[in-house]
Structure 1
Amino acid sequence: MTLSDEARERLADVVELQPTKNGELQKRWGMESGSEVHQYLENELKEYYYRDDNSLIRATAEAAELVDVEPGVQADEDGDGTPTAVRVPELQAHIFEVLAGPEEDGQSVVSVLHAVRDAFDVDDDVSADEVRSALQALRRKGVVEVIYTTVPTFRLAVAREDIDVAVAS
């Protein structure tokens, strides 16, 4: 199957952001809905992606080779599934830098939002919803965990120094 330039770029996004959801790709690709993303994936990239047991979108090994992009998550070589590197959008990288460590108390979404605004030159228009979405994306990548209390809080699932974070373009 020959891919257009657009399809190749979008496949690179799937490889880079995996594991991901329709909503993340919708935002990246400027589409109107998750349904539009699903249709695109089925029509243009069907051979190069699959959904895992949690319905998250992942690229096939062939896709990663085809676009020559590092996957969104690189796991430890000992096979325990612990990530050693992640490629994430800038907001997620900022959150990773300021989020409470694995041994600390978790932080609420609003607390993380304020920490990001204090530490980085981030627009005031970054919303709590965007931070919540970014935290959930980091959770899916295995580097953030949720602590369920009265208000869900978040903290790193791994030591900050054990993960290489690269900002995806």
Structure 2
Amino acid sequence: MTLSEEASERLADIVELQPTKNRELQERWGMDSGSEVHQYLESELKEYYYRNENSLICATPEATNLIEGEDPDRVQTVTVTALQHAVVDVIAGPDEESQSVVAVLHALRDAGEDPEVDAVRSALRSLADKGIVETVQKTVPTFRLAVERDALDIQTTDD
């Protein structure tokens, strides 16, 4: 998707301010309401942002690459739950065979964690929404990291 100059500038604001709130963007963009910000995000930048667990606006990895350029040495900072952090620690890397939800669950249990399968599934979907994990469709969906572990600076929030 090709962005207009205005959309590119606003995406750069999201990359700079993330995680951010509608109000911060409303003030920066000179809009009348948070609702107007939301409408703009959904109509112009839907592919380039997501809301984290605290409903704050964050740029996807693709958006960050688009704005900052591809830099193999750049470390992406993400804020995740403790379970999501544990998933990143045990899931297959980008060049490895992808894993099913159950395989990730077993890897977590081998690492001393004891989550429910639905919590693991939810964590994988959230990480996929953030561009940290990719979904590989087989008979059942399988997952692996979309980026190298050392390209991430993971900050954990309270669940």
Percent of paired sites with the same residue? 40
The structure 1 residue matched to 2:46, chosen from 42, 47, 53, is: 53
Are the structure 2 counterparts of residues 17 and 134 from structure 1 closer, same or farther at C-alpha, using a change threshold of 3 Å? farther
The structure 2 residue matched to 1:135, chosen from 107, 124, 145, is: 124
Structure 2 residue runs without a partner (length 5+): 1-17, 22-33
CA distance in 2 between partners of 1:48 and 1:78 (Å): 23
Are the structure 2 counterparts of residues 131 and 58 from structure 1 closer, same or farther at C-alpha, using a change threshold of 3 Å? closer
Question: Is the counterpart of residue 97 in structure 1 residue 89 in structure 2?
Answer: yes
CA distance in 2 between partners of 1:78 and 1:109 (Å): 33
Structure 1 residue runs without a partner (length 5+): 1-14, 19-44, 65-70
CA distance in 2 between partners of 1:158 and 1:17 (Å): 23
In the TM superposition, residue 166 of structure 1 has moved relative to its aligned partner by: 0.9
Root-mean-square deviation over aligned CA pairs: 3.5
Residue pair 1:16, 1:168 contacting (<8 A) in 2 also: no
Measured against aligned partners, the alpha-carbon deviations of 1:134-162 in whole angstroms (never above 9, x if no partner) come to 10110111111011111211000111111
Scaled by the length of structure 2, the TM-score of the pair is 0.59
Scaled by the length of structure 1, the TM-score of the pair is 0.56
Runs of 4+ in 1 over 6 A off after TM superposition: none
CA distance in 1 between partners of 2:122 and 2:111 (Å): 19
Question: Is the counterpart of residue 155 in structure 1 residue 144 in structure 2?
Answer: yes
Are the structure 2 counterparts of residues 87 and 97 from structure 1 closer, same or farther at C-alpha, using a change threshold of 3 Å? same
Residue type of the alignment partner of 1:101: G
The aligned counterpart of 2:102 is 110
CA distance in 1 between partners of 2:147 and 2:76 (Å): 9
CA distance in 1 between partners of 2:144 and 2:117 (Å): 16
Residue type of the alignment partner of 2:68: D
The aligned counterpart of 1:78 is 68
